[in-house]
Amino acid sequence: MRVLLGSGGIGTEERRSKYMDLISDHFRNSENVVFIPLATHDHEGRTARLKESLGPMGAKFHGLNVDRGVEQILAADGVYMGGGNSFLLNRDLHRYGLIDALRDVVKQGIPYLGVSAGSNVACPTMMTTNDMPIVMPSSYEALGIVPFQINPHYYPGKITFFSEGESNDHFGESRRQRISEYHQHESIPVLGLWEGSYVEWDGARGRLIGRARAFFRDSEPMNFEDGALFDGNLALD
Amino acid sequence: MRVLLGSGGIGTEERRSKYMDLISDHFRNSENVVFIPLATHDHEGRTARLKESLGPMGAKFHGLNVDRGVEQILAADGVYMGGGNSFLLNRDLHRYGLIDALRDVVKQGIPYLGVSAGSNVACPTMMTTNDMPIVMPSSYEALGIVPFQINPHYYPGKITFFSEGESNDHFGESRRQRISEYHQHESIPVLGLWEGSYVEWDGARGRLIGRARAFFRDSEPMNFEDGALFDGNLALD
């Protein structure tokens, strides 16, 4: 398997450049990558913006047409699952019957890139999303092409916001607290993936590009360093 | 109706003191308030901590026992819906068949206090929660004792986090962006309620205690000032 999962949040030049390098390498042997824009409302606009942002490379990316989605996926030699809202994305992956086709092509070795919501749905379930439940999916079950959960856009600790020039502490739950609520109900380990970071997964082993913190139901969380190698239980090699 | 909905985030002495004043006044004529701890995992621990935090006033608060929940609600002269995870809370309100009894007693004028997740479920749906979908509720439909949506723990703009003494920009979606995604699918107006703030609702008219920003599907958002009066469409009086 050739899976690359990004956290998103590529809001700096450096991160943008790393993303371009990774995507270019990941799809180096692909000529017909299906881009799945279902995490957003405006499929055509989203696809057009993606193609434009990729420059000349954009020509080999083709937006999914939901009326012939399975056919398109089976004919593709690459899959790019775009970001947006994970509830919307997972609802539509089920609604349009795309789950099995996606699992099949990824199992066959077709490169898969997911970013943000596109990483959430690569996990066993979409339950470690940060998104707002703007629609009801038929199930939280997702593609399960990696055996662990990812919390994208992860950050440690509490946050601060600014208003009228003043800094304000925010008291809402930290990501650690939210993931610990998840672990009161579920046992799958969760990788809190910092923005601008990625996970490569070959079907048995993962490699971290960037920074992450791994959370477990019954043991203490651990920081993973750039280049860390780990298995499907997030046990370090 | 006598409804008081708090955003939560009462992490300062000043906010704590305001909360104690409001709760004391809201339940001034109540002797038997049912406290509903279903947004958390540990019902007994949560109830014990709530009672302790309220000091002598805590004696009139009684934790819900799910085996006789409806009976307890119908016998109560006050309802306090505690915070935690909105998915867990809404799942259990449906699972234990509590929705109709709660709507009935609130309609009869029994004072209702909701905080954070307890405010989310007072809305027509729980769709403007910030929580992680750690369980699947049978429906997003909630109590609907106010006709608008609340986004608790609201903050404007983007956020910053600190790690190893350094400040980092976070690029994930702002609340404004998340609420705008909601409005691509739904038309109910959303009140972004700052932490430490409250809404009073009498069945026809609301009053803001603190700060909020109102978001609409088809018009520009508006800041609401302390004391603002508004109707069920979040139109200012």
pLDDT 10s digits, B192-204: 999 999 999 999 9
N-to-C CA span, chain B = 19
Q: How many helices (H) and strands (E) does chain B have?
A: 7, 14
More confident: B167 or B214: B214
What structural domains does chain A harbor?
Answer: 3-230 (3.40.50.880)
Q: Please indicate whether residue A219 is annotated as part of the active site.
A: no
Q: Quote the tokens at residue A104.
A: 């099949």
What is the C-alpha separation between A125 and B226, in angstroms, rounded?
A: 42
Q: Tokens 């997003």 label which residue? A: B140
Reported confidence tier of residue A188, pLDDT bands at 50, 70, 90:
very high
Mean pLDDT (chain B, rounded): 97
What is the C-alpha separation between B61 and B79, in angstroms, rounded?
A: 9
* CB-CB neighbors (< 8 A) of B159 in chain A: 159-161, 170
The pLDDT of residue A66: 94
Q: What is the distance in angstroms between the Cα of A136 and the nearest Cα belonging to chain B?
A: 7
Which of helix, strand or coil describes residue A48?
helix
Does the predicted model carry a pTM greater than 0.95? yes
Which of helix, strand or coil describes residue B52?
helix
* CB-CB neighbors (< 8 A) of B172 in chain A: 8-9, 130, 153, 195
What is the C-alpha separation between A117 and A33, in angstroms, rounded?
A: 18
**CB neighbour list of residue B48: distance below 8 Å, 6 or more residues apart:** none
Q: Taking CB atoms and an 8 Å limit, are A161 and B158 in contact across chains?
A: yes
What is the C-alpha separation between B147 and B187, in angstroms, rounded?
A: 12
Q: What is the 3-state secondary structure (H, E, C) of B168-216?
A: EECCCCCHHHHHHHHHCCCCCCEEEEECCCEEEECCCCEEEECCEEEEC
For the segment A216-229, the average pLDDT, to the nearest whole number, is 97
**CB neighbour list of residue A101: distance below 8 Å, 6 or more residues apart:** A69, A70, A73, A74
Q: In 10 A of CB A29, how many CB atoms?
A: 9
Model pLDDT for residues A74-127, shown as the tens digit of each residue: 999 999 999 999 999 999 999 999 999 999 999 999 999 999 999 999 999 999
Comparing C-alpha atoms, which of B138, B121, B44 is closest to residue B86? B121
Catalytic residue among A30, A116, A119, A197: A116
Q: In 10 A of CB B150, how many CB atoms?
A: 24
* CB-CB neighbors (< 8 A) of B119 in chain A: none
Q: Taking CB atoms and an 8 Å limit, are A171 and B10 in contact across chains?
A: yes
Task: Tell me the catalytic residues of B.
Answer: 116, 131, 153
- Closest-CA residue of B relative to A140 is B136
Q: Is the dihedral of CA B158, A134, A140, B8 positive or negative?
A: positive
User: Residue B94 corresponds to which amino acid?
Assistant: H
Q: A231 with A206: CB under 8 angstroms?
A: yes
Q: What is the distance in angstroms between the Cα of B158 and the nearest Cα belonging to chain A?
A: 7
**What number of C-beta contacts closer than 8 Å exist between A and B?**
129
Q: Taking CB atoms and an 8 Å limit, are A139 and B136 in contact across chains?
A: yes
For the segment A1-21, the average pLDDT, to the nearest whole number, is 96
Q: Nearest Cβ partner of A132 from B10, B127, B162?
A: B127
Beta strands in A55-173 (DSSP E): 61-63, 78-81, 112-115, 149-154, 159-163, 166-169
Q: Nearest Cβ partner of A159 from B126, B161, B179?
A: B161
Give the residue from A134, A136, A141, A193 with the most B CB atoms within 10 Å of its CB, the best one to mutate. A134
Model pLDDT for residues B76-118, shown as the tens digit of each residue: 999 999 999 999 999 999 999 999 999 999 999 999 999 999 9
Q: Quote the tokens at residue A112.
A: 């898969």
* CB-CB neighbors (< 8 A) of B154 in chain A: none
